[in-house]
Amino acid sequence: MGVATTTRWNHNIHYHPLIRAAVGSGPGRRVLEVGCGAGGLARELRSAGARVTAIDRHEPSIDTARLDPGGVEYVHGDFLRHPLPVESFDAVVSVAVLHHMDAAAGLRRMRQLVRPGGQVIVIGCARSELPRDALWEALAVIAHRVQVRLLRRPLWEHSAPQVWPPPLTYREMRRIARRELPGVRWRRRALWRYSLVWTKPA
């Protein structure tokens, strides 16, 4: 059986509560998680009442997720090409996945799959530009040390493939998000992340 997400912490898991709050709770909401890895966030969303489909192209991660499915439908496939039903999800979410693909194409695909009135919610990684982003880098280091040293949250390293450093800068990623998702709420976060939340016009 998989280890509960609540017993683990890293820079991605840190932002799961933001995703859960944006998706909301209650039965019936249909959610797609892009790049689900071992399924921790997907199971959290399912336990809050959502009907969750979770897709990842890394087969070992999907195999691990299926050991503890928790009511989630896991799909092994390429999100950009897999035949998912258009405009059928109340929310499309992803954490630290967009930099593994063409970011503009990824956002366009998310926009296509979410229903009118639904949301695209992303926690993403981008590359800092120095000296422009020096203060953000310092903030991230401090935030990390507070979590690990003061709050004693050991860093959990996942086994999924990693792409580091990310190919796009924060400035480039913000520009792409605003172009592909007009009206998007884009925000830089500590711990080397950004968030974007977009509601599809009804």
Interval 99-138: pLDDT, tens = 999 999 999 999 999 999 999 999 999 999 999 999 999 9
CB 10 within 8 A of CB 158: yes
pLDDT tops 50 at residue 166? yes
In this structure, is residue 29 part of a structural domain?
yes
Residue 2 has a pLDDT of: 33
pLDDT at position 4, please?
A: 37
135 occurs within a structural domain? no
Mean pLDDT for 173-183 is: 98
Q: Is residue 133 part of a domain?
A: no
pLDDT at 154 over 90: no
Mean pLDDT across 182-190:
97
Percent of the chain with pLDDT strictly greater than 70:
97
Q: Give the rounded distance of the alpha carbon of 132 from its chain centre.
A: 25
Q: What angle do CA 95, 89, 70 make, to 5 degrees?
A: 65
pTM of the model: 0.92
Give the least confident one: 11-20, 21-30, 77-86, 182-191.
21-30
According to the model, what pLDDT value does residue 5 have? Answer: 45
Is 90 exceeded by the pLDDT of residue 65? yes
Q: What is the pLDDT of residue 158?
A: 74
Which residues lie below 8 Å from residue 12, measured CB to CB, with a gap of 6+? 95, 96, 123, 158, 193
Query: Is residue 152 included in any domain, yes or no?
Result: no
Q: What integer best gives the mean pLDDT of the chain?
A: 93
* Predicted local distance difference test score (pLDDT) of residue 157: 81
* Residue 138 placed within a domain: no
Query: Residue 147 falls within a domain, yes or no?
Result: no
Say yes or no to pLDDT of 1 above 60: no
CA distance 57 to 66: 14
User: Do 59 and 135 meet the contact criterion of CB atoms below 8 Å apart?
Assistant: no
pLDDT band (50, 70, 90) for residue 6: low
In a domain, 142, yes or no: no
Give residues with Cβ within 8 angstroms of 79, minimum separation 6.
34, 35, 55, 57, 101, 106, 109
Give the DSSP letter of residue 129: -
Total number of domains constituting the chain = 1
Q: What CATH number is attached to the domain comprising 82?
A: 3.40.50.150
Q: Mean pLDDT across the stretch 74-94?
A: 97
> Does any domain span residue 146?
no
The pLDDT of residue 147 is above 60? yes
How far apart, in whole angstroms, are the C-alpha atoms of residue 137 and residue 48? Answer: 34
Q: Which domain holds residue 10?
A: 5-127+159-199
Provide the token pair at 64. Answer: 């691990």
